[in-house]
């Protein structure tokens, strides 16, 4: 029991000396920490970059030189007496109701002195056409049938001048 009393006193002495050392350290660090906390707001100021200088907005003229037509106004089409124009009085054929891009060339049939092309329509019908028939919505006339493609001559309106011009289009065989 005497050994236990010695070890208990030793432990108590060790705990007391450690506590005194910690209290001594706290006093020195506490003063530094308090001083740091008091001085920090005065030392630190937020650094904000100045805003860029705003420049005045100047609207540009869309059509300053008058070369472009206004896309929101109807154009006046000047029709010349001898100029190329589609025949608007003839009756429309069935395949003129479909855009040319929606028609597919799927085959041809050749008879003596007569050749037909087979076109697949968007509603999955198959139509026979021959040279001289009208196709598409741009007044296209079938001019040539070959085994690999169909050649058409379309009459379209020029976007800038408003005149009617010819355009060559082709439909290639779809496998």
In whole angstroms, give the CA distance from residue 172 to residue 175.
9
Q: State the pLDDT at residue 1.
A: 43
Q: Are 116 and 150 contacting, i.e. CB atoms less than 8 angstroms apart?
A: no
Of 121, 133, 131, 136, the residue nearest 174 (C-alpha): 121
Per residue in 44-97, pLDDT tens?
777 888 889 988 888 877 666 777 777 777 766 555 544 678 888 889 999 999
CATH number of this structure's domain 53-175 = 2.30.30.830
Say whether pTM exceeds 0.85: no
- DSSP letter (8 states) at residue 68: S
In whole angstroms, give the CA distance from residue 80 to residue 163.
9
Domains in the chain: boundaries? 1-45, 53-175
Per residue in 119-175, pLDDT tens?
999 999 999 999 999 999 999 999 999 999 999 999 888 777 778 889 899 988 887
């Amino acid at each position: 029991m005497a050994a236990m009393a010695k070890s208990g006193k030793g432990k108590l002495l060790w705990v007391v000396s450690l506590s005194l050392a910690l209290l001594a350290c706290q006093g020195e660090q506490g003063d530094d920490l308090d001083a740091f906390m008091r001085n920090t707001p005065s030392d630190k100021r937020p650094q904000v970059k100045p805003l860029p200088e705003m420049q005045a907005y100047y609207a540009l003229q869309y059509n300053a030189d008058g070369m472009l037509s206004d896309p929101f106004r109807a154009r006046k089409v000047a029709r010349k007496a001898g100029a190329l124009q589609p025949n608007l009085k003839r009756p429309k054929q069935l395949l003129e109701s479909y855009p040319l891009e929606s028609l597919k060339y799927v085959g041809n049939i050749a008879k003596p002195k007569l050749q037909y092309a087979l076109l697949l329509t968007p509603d999955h019908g198959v139509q026979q056409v021959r040279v001289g028939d009208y196709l598409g919505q741009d007044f296209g006339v079938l001019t040539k049938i070959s085994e690999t493609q169909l050649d058409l001559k379309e009459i379209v309106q020029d976007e800038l001048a408003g005149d009617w011009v010819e355009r060559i289009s082709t439909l290639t065989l779809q496998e």
